[in-house]
Amino acid sequence: MRIRDGKHDERIMNSERITRDEIVASLRVKGIDGLDKVRFGYLENDGEISALLYRDPDSNGQMASQEAHRKSRIT
């Protein structure tokens, strides 16, 4: 699974048998409130989603979530 610029790759999601709702729910658990916040995201081999978020212009260069990477397990 891959997310790029807030958009998921439907073809890869189908091959991985993961739904958009599962991705959104998994990100939400980690405090990421939407795909539009994700610049790059990947489904890791261990079932976790890693996400690099867009920078928040109001945070002086800090990541919007204060972390460069967040992980969330798809269950």
Instruction: Enter the pTM of the model.
Output: 0.64
| Number of other residues whose CB lies within 10 A of the CB of residue 42 | 15
Domains of the chain listed by start with CATH number: 2-73 (3.30.240.20)
User: In angstroms, rounded to a whole number, what is the distance separating the alpha carbons of residues 28 and 13?
Assistant: 18
Give the pLDDT confidence of 2-20 residue by residue, as tens digits. Answer: 788 888 788 888 888 888 8
Q: What is the pLDDT of residues 43-59, one digit of tens each?
A: 888 888 889 898 765 55
Give the confidence band of 1 by pLDDT, cuts at 50, 70, 90: low
The DSSP 8-state label assigned to residue 74 in this structure reads: -
